[in-house]
Amino acid sequence: MTSTRSTPAPTAELETVLDSAKAASEKLESARPGELAGMLRGVADALEGATEELVPLAQRESGLPEGRLRGELVRTTFQLRLFGDVVEEGSHLGATLDSPAPDWPTGARPDMRRVSLPLGPVLVFAASNFPFAFSVAGGDTASALAAGCPVVVKAHPGHPELSRRTAELVTTALREAGAPEGTFALIEGTENSQAAVLDGRVKAGAFTGSNSGGRALFDLACSRNEPIPFYAEMGSVNPAFVTPEAAEQRGGEIARGYLDSYTLGVGQFCTKPGLLFVPQQALREFEETLVPEVRQRGAAPMLSSGIANAFSESLNSLREHSAVRELVTGGHSEDGVTPTLLSTTAEELLANPDELMGECFGPVSLLVGYSDTDQLLEAAAAFSGELTATVQGAENEKVVESLFETLRSRAGRLVWNGWPTGVSVSYAMQHGGPYPATTAPTHTSVGTAAVERFLRPVSFQNAPAAVLPEALRDDNPLGIPRRVDGKLHSA
C-alpha cells in the first residue's frame, strides 16, 4: 500500500548525503575487521585529542558540570575502542558452516554457510541528555560503524555547535583511517530528518529520547513502502522495590542511595528511579530520612528551556493529583531547579496507573507505601515495559524470587541491591526493554551486543568459493571464531 502521509522532500544537501552514504555502504560491506576497527579507534583518538576544546563547548551548551562531561567523553572514546575490539575478534558476525550431509535426518543437507552482513546506511538521532555518549559519536554511531554501516546523524538542537565540531572531528578521523567518503555525515532540522527516515537509501534508524518523539519516528519508519527497523529507546519510570527485611535492616542506607540516584544529573537520566515502593510501616522512617536531605540539595540547571518547561508541566500534573502528598516542594530559580519528593500508596497507584505511573523527566520521584508483599507483587505486575527494575532485598526473603519472576518479563535490566543510574558499557549489558521502554525489546542500545541491530544474516547454499564473504571461506582468512558442523572453533 502506498503511504499518503505528507512529508518533506529531501533537500539537495540531503540528497548528496544519502547518495554518498549509499555509495560508501557498498564499499564498507567488503571492509575487513581490522579496517573497521582502525576507523573506530581513529575516531576515539581524535575525540580524546580534542578534549580541551570539546568539554568547554559542551559545558556552554548543556549546562552540565565539567567533571560529568569529562567522564562522559571518556566513556565515549572507550566504547568506540571496545567496538573496535569486538569487530577485530569477529564473533559478532555469527559465521556458521554446515558441510554437505546426505544422511541428515530431515533430508540431505546441502553445503550451508551463514554470516551477518551490514544492513546499509543508518540514521541516528542524537540525544539531549548525553552530549557525547548518546550523541554524534555515541553508542548508536559506534555500533553502526562497527557493523560496517555508514552513519547519518541528526544533530540534537540542544547542543548544535558541539555537534558540528564533533562531526568535523569524526569525518576527518574516518577519512584518515581510510574510510570511503560518505561513511559519516551530520544533518540538522526536523524536515531533513523526517525525509531521511522515509528515504529508501536509509536502511535502519536509532533514537534515544521521549515516548512521543520515538513513537512518531517509529510509525514513520513503518509507514514506508519498504519498512525499516527503527530502534527507539524511549521513556521509562524504572520502579524500585524495597522488601520488608531490607527496609528494617538498612532503611537509611537505601533512602540515601535512592536520593542520590533520582537526583543524579538533575533527574535527566532515562534510568532514573521514578518510584520507590516501601513497606507502609517503614514509610515514616524513609520520609524522616529523606525530607531534610532533599531540602539540602542545591539548584542545578536542566539541559534546555524546553526540557525544563516539559518537566514543570508534568510535575504540576503529578503534584496536583488528589492521591499524591507533597513531601518536598522543589523550586525554580536562575540557578535551575531543586528536587521534589512526592508520596502515595500502592492502592492509589493501582487505582490511577495512567496518572501516577508515567515518566516525569527531571528531579522528582514518588514514594509508594505498600501494605503487604501481596500488594507489592500486584504493583510490580502493573508495569508494562521498563528499561530497569530494582529490588532492594535480603537474599533469603521469600518475596524476592516471586518479585524477580514478575519483573523479568517487564524490564530489560534487573538491579539487585544497587541503583539503575549508571549504565556500564560492557559485553553483558542490556539497555532496552519491552514497549513502551523501547520499540525493539530483543536488542540493546548500550554494550557490545548493540552492533547486532545493524546486521542482517544471509545464508549461502552450495555457493562457489569465489562469491563467499571471507568470513565463510574454508581457510578462514580473517581468523575469526566460527561454528563448523555444530562445533565452535575459536579461530
pLDDT in tens, 109-145: 999 999 999 999 999 999 999 999 999 999 999 999 9
Residue 104 has pLDDT above 90, yes or no: yes
Q: Which residues are part of the catalytic machinery?
A: 233, 270
> Average pLDDT of 173-200?
97
pLDDT of 1 over the 80 cut: no
Alpha helices in 178-234 (DSSP H): 190-198, 211-222
Q: Report d(CA 40, CA 60) in Å as an integer.
A: 27
Domains and CATH numbers, the chain: 12-234+441-489 (3.40.605.10), 239-416 (3.40.309.10)
Q: What is the pLDDT of residue 2?
A: 40
The Cα–Cα gap between 354 and 451 comes to 35
Average pLDDT over residues 299-316: 93
- pLDDT band for position 7 (cuts 50, 70, 90): low
Written as one letter, the residue type at 460 is F
pLDDT at 3 over 60: no
Note the pLDDT of residue 4: 44
Q: Is the pLDDT of residue 9 over 90?
A: no
Taking 90 as the threshold, does the pLDDT of residue 329 lie above it? yes
The stretch 387-407 carries a mean pLDDT of 97
- What are the grid coordinates assigned to 211, written together? 515516548
Q: Nearest-CA neighbor of 133 among 269, 33, 309, 21?
A: 269
pLDDT in the model for residue 333: 87
Q: Which residues of 389-410 are buried (b: 16+ CB within 10 A; e: fewer)?
A: bbbbbbeeeebbeebeebbeeb
Strand ranges in 299-403 using DSSP code E only, listed in sequence order? 325-328, 332-333, 336-337, 340-345, 364-370, 386-392
Q: What percent of the chain has pLDDT over 90?
A: 96
pLDDT above 90 for 65 = yes
- Residue 10's pLDDT is what? 84
Mean confidence (pLDDT) of the chain: 96
What's the average model confidence in pLDDT over 244-259?
Answer: 98
Q: How far is CA 345 from CA 285, 360, 367, in A?
A: 15, 18, 8
Give CA–CA dist 204/121, Å, rounded.
7
